[in-house]
Structure 1
Amino acid sequence: MTAFPSIDTEVLRTFVAIADQGGFTRAGELVNRTQSAVSMQMKRLEEDVLQRKLFERDGRQVRLTPEGQVLLGYARRILKLHSEVFNTLREPHMVGLVRIGTPDDYVMRFLPGILKPFSKAYPLIQIEMHCESSTVLMQRRDLALTVISREPGHEMGELLRTERMVWAAAPCFCVDEHETLPLAVSGADCIYTQWTRSALEAVGRDYRLAYHSTNGAAIQAVVSAGLALMICMESLVTEDLRILGSEDGLPALPSMNLHLLRNPQMASPITDCLAEYILEGFRL
């Protein structure tokens, strides 16, 4: 196997700083080295290690050559992996299992953007996910972290975000064609169901609970097929649905708060770390 010269990660860190800062002096300040030390590092990298020109100099500014652009992509990846190695091996307590609970509505919308970077940073942590209604989740004591829906005035835990609630249906669904509105709901104990019934009863609109499932995907399928109407958070309305409102003869709906609950009996560095990822992910 061919033996290649090695590149120190500190040299790569300096190289990335030069690319980001546009000059040796500012990069030196960032990595706590003198301008001459930075220049010497890059000279060795160009002449002795890679034998390729990495910079084009324009007065005090420097630009990357095509070879420098290639190295920049690799350098960023190497430094990221280097950081992940130390996060994993220098933090042996970041190993184990954490159970989280969330209504399944939020899984596809929020969880991928939260769990993907978390799993990359802490690959030895196993996550067990439980999807149930907020009412059921609040009664469980075996979950370390729980995401729940709460109406304003009934806050608990840490606020993740506030969402506008809307009526949603397929483009082919016409409210005026239904003397009794067919509804797709998650269950009698679901706060969405309670709000749906209260809103329609307040304006004297007849309805029937036509479809019931605790599976969010099943509800979505029924509504997408034009068979029923549902309420959901505005951010969960998919491209195959449309939002309905007062122009369709439907009453206004209250807003919804999403909260994060932490189980103090299961507190640990793992749960604290994942909680921060959840807080950040829901607020984006």
Structure 2
Amino acid sequence: MSSYPGIDSELLRTFVAIADLGGFTRAAEAVNRTQSAVSMQMKRLEEDVVQRSLFERDGRQVRLTAEGQVLLGYARRILKLHGEVINTLREPHMVGSVRIGTPDDYVMRFLPGILSRFAQAYPMVQVEVHCESSSQLLQRQDLDLSIVTRMPGDEIGQLLRQERFVWAEAQGFSPHEQTPLPLAMFNSDCFCRTWACNALDAMERDYRVAYTSPSLSAIMAVVSAGLAVTAQLQSLITPDLRILGKAENLPELPMSSIVLLRNTRTQSPVTECLAEHIAEGFRL
């Protein structure tokens, strides 16, 4: 059976830094080594380990060779697996399950990236997601973490993000010109629906809630078909929709505060770690 030299993960880490930063000098700063030490590492990687030229040098510019590009893909995967192994074995308490609650509108926009990064770091943790309105989540006592919407000045828990609600309709359609104004909104216990209706009542504009659903995807499907206007967080407005305002005789909507609530009775290293991932994800 043939034997091959092992590849030190520190060599791969330096190699990836050079590829990402475009040179030995910046990579040396990133990995906290001298430039000469980085050069020696790469000489060892090229000559003793892979026995291939990995870099093309043009003055101060450094580019990867074809072999270097191949190694880069493998290096990223090896380092990713290395990190997962260390996280799993060094932190054996990071096993178990965590129950989080969130309104449906945050699921598509924020949760995929958050849960993907968390799963990569802690693959042994089971995450159970419950999608309900903010008012329903505030009544539950069985969740470890809850993401809810609050009015500015009425925040509780950890503030994740502040964002404005906006009116929107499909490009190429004009349901805002209809009387009464057709709305597609979440069900009646949604903060957003209450704020939108209160704003229309204050300006005495006639409207009707023509479509309701607990699902954001269902609401957006109705709006994208040109059947109604909706009010949602600005970050949820997709390119096929356009934001409406005073020019369309629609009132300004309030800012919202998205906050994270912790259940003090079920706090653990697992729930706190996921809470940190959630906070980071809402900052992106």
TM-score range with shorter-chain normalisation? 0.7 to 0.9
1:258 Cα deviation (Å)? 0.7
Counterpart of 1:95 in structure 2 is 95
Q: Report if aligned partners of 2:160, 2:283 keep a CA contact under 8 Å in 1.
A: yes
Q: What is the rounded CA distance, in whole Å, between the counterparts of 1:129 and 1:116 in structure 2?
A: 14
SS at match of 1:126: strand
Q: What is the rounded CA distance, in whole Å, between the counterparts of 2:264 and 2:59 in structure 1?
A: 59
Q: What is the rounded CA distance, in whole Å, between the counterparts of 1:183 and 1:59 in structure 2?
A: 62
Counterpart of 1:71 in structure 2 is 71
TM-score, normalising length: structure 2 = 0.88
1:267 Cα deviation (Å)? 0.8
* 1:228-267 mapped onto 2 (5 Å cutoff): 228-267=228-267
1:118 Cα deviation (Å)? 1.0
Q: Report if aligned partners of 2:175, 2:182 keep a CA contact under 8 Å in 1.
A: no
Q: Report if aligned partners of 2:165, 2:231 keep a CA contact under 8 Å in 1.
A: yes
Counterpart of 1:195 in structure 2 is 195
1:158 Cα deviation (Å)? 1.0
Letter in 2 for 1:173: S
Counterpart of 1:133 in structure 2 is 133
Letter in 2 for 1:6: G
With over 3 angstroms needed to count, the CA separation of the structure-2 counterparts of 1:60 and 1:97, relative to structure 1, is same
How many residues are aligned here?
282
Counterpart of 2:174 in structure 1 is 173
1:159 Cα deviation (Å)? 1.0
Counterpart of 1:273 in structure 2 is 273
1:32 Cα deviation (Å)? 5.3
Q: What is the rounded CA distance, in whole Å, between the counterparts of 2:61 and 2:101 in structure 1?
A: 52
With over 3 angstroms needed to count, the CA separation of the structure-2 counterparts of 1:87 and 1:211, relative to structure 1, is same
Identity of aligned residues (%): 62
Q: What is the rounded CA distance, in whole Å, between the counterparts of 1:172 and 1:58 in structure 2?
A: 55
Q: Report if aligned partners of 1:166, 1:243 keep a CA contact under 8 Å in 2.
A: yes
Letter in 2 for 1:148: V
SS at match of 2:156: coil
Is the deviation greater in 132-141 or in 20-29? 20-29
Larger radius of gyration: 1
Q: Report if aligned partners of 1:23, 1:61 keep a CA contact under 8 Å in 2.
A: no
Q: What is the rounded CA distance, in whole Å, between the counterparts of 1:102 and 1:127 in structure 2?
A: 13
TM-score, normalising length: structure 1 = 0.88
Q: What is the rounded CA distance, in whole Å, between the counterparts of 1:25 and 1:151 in structure 2?
A: 45
Gaps of 5+ in 1: none
1:69 Cα deviation (Å)? 3.9
With over 3 angstroms needed to count, the CA separation of the structure-2 counterparts of 1:246 and 1:17, relative to structure 1, is closer
Q: What is the rounded CA distance, in whole Å, between the counterparts of 1:220 and 1:71 in structure 2?
A: 43
